[in-house]
């Protein structure tokens, strides 16, 4: 797996990340969602730098410009729920991408246990020979992404696969590195210290799905 850490240089990304984590600013769920969306836009731009491009000519009102545009079709696929706001950010830049949505949840997980990950709902196009970008803001143990990827690649083979996460724990990165094929790219906005006993990322930001959309039963 090729890993890209995109907040190593200072940029406005760090400003958005700081707001995401701040317990006081988190009370404003609209700002939380908007910051995740803005981070999605930045990640989409960084990721776009390594995608394949093709030569094209564009007719302007005054002449013809030889330039380039994306070569392959892109499919954006996010994991419910927390992936939705990040998905919107990616969609703002990859505006003609196809889109997919997959659910992943932990069945009977007791505190401190990972539990079985169930991937039940899936509404996604074919991504055979396309660029698949899998979107989820939090990479904790890596079990959710692993379960989703296994289900997806059992059905179709993308030409390229990119995983985009906002905050990653070293444990989750190590798990994906050991268990996923080398050709996959992992894009990490920021790397945190570790997981706590409930498999939450520390310092992290808390529960991304709840902060964006409210607590669930
Ligand atoms: O790496 P893992 O240990 O699998 O944890 C990460 C998962 O946890 C979060 O979703 P969550 O299960 O909280 O669902 P939600 O988005 O509905 O809140 C997050 O968005 C990931 O999908
Ligand atoms: O820290 C974490 C871990 C999983 N899911 C979250 O939303 N936050
Ligand atoms: Mg959650």
144 in contact with ligand 1, CB cutoff 6 A:
yes
79 in contact with ligand 1, CB cutoff 6 A:
yes
112-122 pLDDT tens trace: 666 789 999 99
pLDDT greater than 70 at residue 151? yes
Query: For ligand 2, atom 2, which residue shows the shortest CA distance?
Result: 200
Mutate to test the pocket of ligand 1, among 83, 134, 208, 211 (most ligand atoms within 8 A of CB): 208
155 pLDDT tier (thresholds 50, 70, 90)? confident
CATH classification for the domain delimited by 2-213, as one of 3.40.718.10, 3.40.50.2030, 3.90.79.10, 3.40.50.2020: 3.40.50.2020
88-114 pLDDT tens trace: 999 999 999 999 999 998 776 666 666
pLDDT for residue 105:
86
Q: What ipTM was reported for this prediction?
A: 0.97
Q: Of all atoms in ligand 2, which is nearest to the CA of residue 210?
A: 7
178-217 pLDDT tens trace: 999 999 999 999 999 999 999 999 999 999 999 999 998 8
pLDDT for residue 199:
94
**Read out DSSP for the chain?**
-EEEE--SS-SHHHHHHHHHH-TTGGG-HHHHHHHHHHHHHHHHHHHHTTS-EEEEEEE-SS-EEEEEEE-S-EEEEEEETTHHHHHHHHHHHSTT-EEEEEE-EEETPPTT---EEE---EE----TTSEEEEE-SEESSSHHHHHHHHHHHHH---SEEEEEEEEE-HHHHHHHHHHS-TT-EEEEEEE-SEE-TTS-EESS-S-HHHHHH----
Question: What percent of the chain is predicted at pLDDT more than 70?
Answer: 97
Q: What is the rounded average pLDDT of the residues 163-177?
A: 98
């Amino acid at each position: 797996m090729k890993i890209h850490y995109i907040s190593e240089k200072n940029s406005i990304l760090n400003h958005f990340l700081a707001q995401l984590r701040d317990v006081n600013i988190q009370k404003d769920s609209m700002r939380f969602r908007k910051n995740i969306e803005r981070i999605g836009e930045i990640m989409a731009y960084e990721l776009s730098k390594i995608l394949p491009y093709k030569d094209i000519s564009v007719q302007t009102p005054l002449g013809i410009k030889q330039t380039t545009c994306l070569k392959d079709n892109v499919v954006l696929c996010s994991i419910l729920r927390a992936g939705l706001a990040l998905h919107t950010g990616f969609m703002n830049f990859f505006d003609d991408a196809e889109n997919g949505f997959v659910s992943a949840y932990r069945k009977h997980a007791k505190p401190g246990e990972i539990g079985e990950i169930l991937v039940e709902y899936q509404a996604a196009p074919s991504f055979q020979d396309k660029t698949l970008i899998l979107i989820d803001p939090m990479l904790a143990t890596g079990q959710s992404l692993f379960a989703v990827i296994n289900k997806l690649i059992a059905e179709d083979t993308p030409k390229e696969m990119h995983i985009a996460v906002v905050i990653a724990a070293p444990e989750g990165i190590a798990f994906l590195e050991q268990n996923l094929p080398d050709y996959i790219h992992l894009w990490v906005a920021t790397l945190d210290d570790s997981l706590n006993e409930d498999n939450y990322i520390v310092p992290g930001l808390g529960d991304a799905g709840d902060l964006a959309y409210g607590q669930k039963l």
